[in-house]
């Protein structure tokens, strides 16, 4: 029975809070705080209608550490779940240290003025959390999050080492909009327009990142329950944490599917400067083109009702077991309409919000209550994997004939 403070009343925050309320034996008291209180109130009212549970709400600018510490003390929370934006990660970690509570998020820190996400800023907090006897879990969404837990589970139960890993993220859903992102548009567009990077290392060598221009490496892949889709090589944060924590990895890559219409829109927007994060003057006022673009794009949390189809996200990993090389594909299939019926959100928010709830539960149940800053692949996967099956994200694992051919 534990009190939790969730920050961020967006698509992901909404799913996580609904699922926490459905697990009231673990989350005895939930407060949802965000920049605009009315968004928290809308979510609280949906939770009340669906579960009968009361969620407390509050207005908070998470950049204000003093205000966050005061809210933590007022609520008596023992865990802060950060489902706002990556820009808030460090200030919220500071607030948790000040108030003496645990921390969890779903996306790693990136500085607002530079589209660059790396773990070193958050890993630098390890000694402070360790000394304070507090836990910080980084990246418990689906990717990152479940994709790393999958790898750890494979490494615990099916393989002894992982030589190569490919994370495959497919959204086979359609929302009927000409162009819309499935999660926060600003963060999504910063991610997809960044150069692609993957990890390669020859045995005995230090290894390096191999960079290529964004959206230039394309492979057609036949996804279970979705069918054939084009997926593109991208950089994603779990590549950094997995190659660090599983140092035997010789190649780690991340792939995401995009339809031709999405690629065409992003290309045009990029060519005309609308995805830039450099401030410009407009009518005597300084604006950031990408933030202006975000304000005219559909709000992903409004897409739930419109989205049909399925997502399929998973890992293909090759490694050794008892002297024999083996390859496994482990994945989840999630249906947009089923998610909407259960919690009023589409599957991209659902596949992030459910693992956020499960990661928080691991801390509160004591399974992941280890002092320091941790990524999900560093922690025991078994109860998390069990909860995925019971909480709406069942997984399947299949042995493949051999390593991927692409
Ligand atoms: P949204 O933009 O829908 O929601 C973010 C929420 O945070 C909004 O309600 C926003 O308030 C609030 N917020 C922003 N800044 C502040 C602030 N300074 N103080 C308080 N509240 C603030 O985003 P999503 O729900 O789509 O995504 C949430 C997080 O999940 C992001 O970090 C995203 O990168 C991550 N994510 C992770 C995935 C994974 O698999 N690991 C996948 C998808 C997303 P307002 O409504 O007023 O703007």
The alpha carbon of 160 and the centre of ligand 1 are apart by a number of angstroms equal to 37
pLDDT at 56: 98
pLDDT at 112: 87
pLDDT at 300: 87
pLDDT at 282: 95
CB-ligand 1 contact for 32 (6 Å cutoff): no
Identify the sign of the CA torsion 299, 305, 307, 313: positive
CB-ligand 1 contact for 17 (6 Å cutoff): no
Mean pLDDT (the chain) is 96
CB-ligand 1 contact for 142 (6 Å cutoff): yes
Q: What are phi and psi of 252, to 5 degrees?
A: -135, 125
pLDDT at 390: 98
Buried b (16+ CB within 10 A) or exposed e, 376-396: bbbbebeebbebbeebbbebe
CB-ligand 1 contact for 359 (6 Å cutoff): no
Helix-, strand-, coil-residue percentages of the chain, each rounded to 5: 40, 30, 35
* 394 touches 388 (CB < 8 A): yes
Q: What are phi and psi of 183, to 5 degrees?
A: -140, -175
pLDDT at 1: 61
CA R_g for the chain: 20
CB-ligand 1 contact for 257 (6 Å cutoff): no
Q: How far apart are CA 69 and CA 98, in angstroms?
A: 7
pLDDT at 98: 98
| Domains detected in the chain | 2-138 (3.40.50.720), 146-345+394-400 (3.30.360.10)
The alpha carbon of 187 and the centre of ligand 1 are apart by a number of angstroms equal to 9
Global pTM reads 0.96
Q: What is the pLDDT of residues 154-209, one digit of tens each?
A: 999 999 999 999 999 999 999 999 999 988 888 889 889 999 999 999 877 889 99
Low-confidence ranges of the chain (pLDDT < 50): none
Token pair, residue 241, equals: 């944490």
């Amino acid at each position: 029975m534990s009190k939790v403070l969730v920050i961020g009343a967006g698509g992901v925050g909404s799913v996580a809070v609904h699922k926490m309320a459905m697990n009231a034996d673990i989350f005895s008291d939930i407060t949802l705080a965000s920049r605009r209180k009315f968004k928290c109130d809308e979510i609280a009212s949906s939770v009340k209608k669906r579960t009968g549970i009361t969620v407390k709400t509050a207005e908070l600018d998470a950049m204000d550490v003093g205000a966050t510490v005061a809210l933590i003390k007022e609520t008596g929370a023992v865990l802060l779940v950060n489902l706002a934006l990556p820009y808030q990660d460090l200030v919220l970690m500071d607030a948790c240290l000040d108030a003496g509570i645990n921390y969890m998020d779903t996306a790693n820190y990136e500085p607002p003025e530079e589209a660059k996400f790396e773990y070193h800023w958050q890993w630098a907090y390890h000694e402070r959390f360790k000394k304070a006897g507090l836990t910080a879990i980084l990246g418990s969404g689906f990717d990152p999050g479940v994709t790393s837990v999958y790898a750890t589970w494979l490494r615990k139960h099916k393989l002894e080492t992982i030589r190569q890993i490919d994370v495959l993220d497919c959204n086979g859903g359609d929302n009927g909009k000409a162009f819309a992102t499935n999660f926060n548009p600003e963060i999504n567009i910063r991610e997809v327009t960044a150069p692609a990077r993957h990890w390669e290392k020859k045995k005995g060598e230090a290894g390096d990142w191999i960079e290529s221009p964004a959206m230039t490496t394309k492979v057609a892949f036949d996804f279970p329950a979705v069918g054939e889709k084009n997926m593109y090589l991208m950089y994603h944060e779990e590549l950094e944490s997995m190659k660090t924590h599983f140092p035997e990895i010789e190649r780690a890559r991340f792939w995401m599917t995009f339809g031709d219409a999405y690629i065409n829109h992003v290309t045009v927007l990029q060519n005309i400067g609308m995805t830039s994060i450099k401030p410009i003057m407009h009518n005597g006022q300084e604006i950031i083109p990408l933030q202006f673009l975000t304000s005219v794009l559909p709000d992903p949390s409004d897409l739930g009702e419109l989205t049909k189809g399925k997502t399929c996200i998973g890992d293909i990993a090759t490694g050794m077991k008892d002297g024999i090389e083996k390859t496994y594909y482990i994945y989840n299939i999630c249906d947009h309409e089923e998610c909407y019926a259960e919690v009023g959100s589409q599957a991209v928010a659902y596949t992030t919000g459910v693992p956020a709830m499960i990661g928080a539960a691991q801390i509160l149940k004591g399974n992941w209550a280890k002092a320091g800053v941790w990524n999900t692949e560093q922690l025991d996967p078994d109860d998390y994997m069990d909860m995925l099956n019971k909480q709406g994200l069942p997984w399947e694992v299949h042995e493949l004939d051999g390593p991927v051919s692409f």
